[in-house]
Amino acid sequence: MASTVCSPAMRENDLLYDDLVQEFYGLDAKTLALDCVSIRKSGKMHRWTNLNGYVGAQMSGPSMQAEVTRHFGLIYLVAVQPDASIELRRQIMRGLQNTAWLLKGR
């Protein structure tokens, strides 16, 4: 399963001055694995993968959700503010995992 929490280390390293503005949790359209994409003020998007580490893309359209789906193939997106609590994140992840479970049962 892919990493389900956007890594705080990414916020503290070389992107220190590129503010994190939005995060999206969603399901990978092919595997239904839970995943997360972070979006920075500059329009850079990042997703952690176990195989390749951080994978990035640059936003080219006005809709963050559409860009996350287009570049990373995530569906059932839930927007999360960067300062959201761990408990809220856990609730979102549980909800998405339940959605994946239901979809796999079809």
For 3-22, write each residue's pLDDT tens digit. 445 655 554 555 568 899 99
Q: Are 27 and 82 in contact (CB under 8 A)?
A: no
Tell me how many domains the chain contains: 1
Residue 23 lies in a domain: yes
Neighbours of 35 (CB within 10 A): 23
Residue 36 included in any domain: yes
Domain membership flag for residue 1: no
Is 2 part of a structural domain of the chain? no
Domain span at residue 77 reads 8-104
Closest to 34 measured CA to CA, from 64, 8, 72: 72
Strand 74-80 versus strand 34-40 pairing type? unpaired
The pTM score is: 0.81
Split at pLDDT 50, 70, 90, the class of 105 is confident
- Residue 75 has a pLDDT of 97
Q: Which amino acid is at 63?
A: S
The answer as to whether 3 is a domain residue is no
Dist CA 82 CA 65 (whole Å) = 15
Phi/psi of residue 44, nearest 5 degrees: -75, 135
